[in-house]
A = this chain, B = another copy of it.
């Protein structure tokens, strides 16, 4: 079983548990995300979708699938770059309470890394102390240069 197959299987499992439907179209978009090396814009994904699956697809097709995947935590949206990528932690089962994305401005690579538990609880505490209520898990997007690009 390949890496993508394993992740897809986990994603399907997740959907069954949540009582939501992993339709063919959603799976196809998930597949596109999984086979990419890095984050993609919605229109890049649309182009690939048209090539690989359905030549006359329109933007709402992609945006709807992406919205679904993001809601389910199977993909993430990087709002600072308007890009989308598959969640890198679908198969592992540590909670997704806080995530940091390290975005290399040089090569475009993204590294997804869990936020330290203590940092999360400090954040939660300062948020709660202001009476603010959030469902969402915080996503932090940090721009800079990755280890590899720093060498060169």
Q: Are A136 and B143 in contact, CB atoms less than 8 angstroms apart?
A: yes
Could you tell me the distance between the alpha carbons of A125 and B33 in the complex, rounded to whole angstroms? 29
Q: Give a binary string over A72-103; 1 marks a CB under 8 Å from any B CB, 0 the rest.
A: 00000001100000000000000000001010
- Give chain A interface residues in 89-131, CB to chain B under 8 Å: 100, 102, 104, 111, 113, 115-116, 118-119, 122-123, 126-127, 130-131
A146 at interface, CB cutoff 8 A? yes
Q: Are A144 and B135 in contact, CB atoms less than 8 angstroms apart?
A: yes
A145 at interface, CB cutoff 8 A? yes
Could you tell me the distance between the alpha carbons of A111 and B129 in the complex, rounded to whole angstroms? 13
Q: Are A140 and B126 in contact, CB atoms less than 8 angstroms apart?
A: no
Contact of A113 among B80, B113, B126, B134 (CB under 8 A): B126
> Known: A79-B79, A126-B100, A140-B123. Is A132-B145 also a contact (CB below 8 A)?
yes
A138 at interface, CB cutoff 8 A? yes
Q: A79-B79, A133-B150, A134-B144 are in contact. List 6 more A-B contacts (CB 8 A).
A: A79-B80, A102-B130, A130-B147, A131-B148, A136-B144, A138-B140
The residues of A with any CB-CB pair to B shorter than 8 Å are: 79-80, 100, 102, 104, 111, 113, 115-116, 118-119, 122-123, 126-127, 130-136, 138, 140-148, 150
* CB<8 Å pairs between A and B, sample of 13: A79-B79, A104-B132, A113-B130, A118-B119, A118-B122, A119-B119, A130-B147, A132-B142, A133-B144, A134-B143, A134-B145, A136-B143, A140-B140
